[in-house]
Amino acid sequence: MKRFALLSGALAALLAGAPANASRVQRSMFEDDQTLVLSSPTIRERTLDDLQTLGVDTVHSVVFWNKVSPAPLSTHRPAGFDGSNPAAYPASLWDRYDGLVRGAQARGMDVLLSPSSPMPAWASGCKASLKVRKYCRPNPTQFKRFVQALGTRYSGTYADENEGKGVLPRVARWSIWNEPNQGGWLQPQATKRGAVAPALYRQLVRSCSARPRRSGAARARPRAARRRPASSCATCCASTAAGARCAAARWTAAAASAGAWR
């Protein structure tokens, strides 16, 4: 009840400030990975019930790469591992996302998934500590395979190997990476020579943007908004520390300049 009261209060505050002529097709979206994917199934289902009562249309969740991958703390990819095949991942590690997708569909809500860091150490191009590797220089090829596995699993034709054994619902909405202009998700943001993260993000977008569609889901869309380039990649975040946050507008312009949207 406490959670419901908090959610109700938050929604009421938002509605109170909404204009009377708000769009009738405007959709409400909710994200809380702590309760929806990082807690118990009981808490997840209770939260989904609350969201349904509040009229939420879409649930957004980050798909934490290292939460479903084998040997996430190893710097070496497991021998013979095919990252594009969802059956190659430990079946039980998919349960948190399978349950979310099933639960949302059962309540008439859409799901938006964002494959992102933290990632397995073996997918990092950085020679650094395990803590840093979780966010540092993701390998575009390995990420592409991860996204392909997700697209296949949630294509609407894939049968769960574990819970339920039934065909999993289709997920049609995707975005690539979570907050790529934030050092807590993607590193390095910049070096003394200039911005780095926009180019890293471009590689991720270009490597996997067609993967979900080929696997039966909708085309993945870049996480940041499209905008015309206003500055070069070399000047964005030039004075920003490697792990810090670059201003969203400058960062997005740099990503556009690097060709992330083409």
Topology classification of domain 29-184+197-226: TIM Barrel (3.20.20)
Residue 163 confidence (pLDDT): 80
Residue 169: is the preceding peptide bond cis (ω within 30°)?
A: no
Per-residue model confidence as pLDDT tens digits over 165-187: 899 999 999 999 999 999 999 99
pTM of the model: 0.77
At position 70, the amino acid (one-letter code) is P
Per-residue model confidence as pLDDT tens digits over 110-144: 999 999 999 999 999 999 999 999 999 999 999 99
Residue 26 confidence (pLDDT): 77
Query: How far is the C-alpha of 149 from the C-alpha of 259, rounded, in Å?
Result: 25
pLDDT band at residue 56, thresholds of 50, 70 and 90? very high
Is the Cβ–Cβ distance between 259 and 198 less than 8 Å? no
Is the Cβ–Cβ distance between 115 and 180 less than 8 Å? no
Residue 46 confidence (pLDDT): 98
Mean residue pLDDT of the chain comes to: 81
Residue 121 confidence (pLDDT): 98
Residue 86: is the preceding peptide bond cis (ω within 30°)?
A: no
- The structure tokens listed for 21 are 């002529």
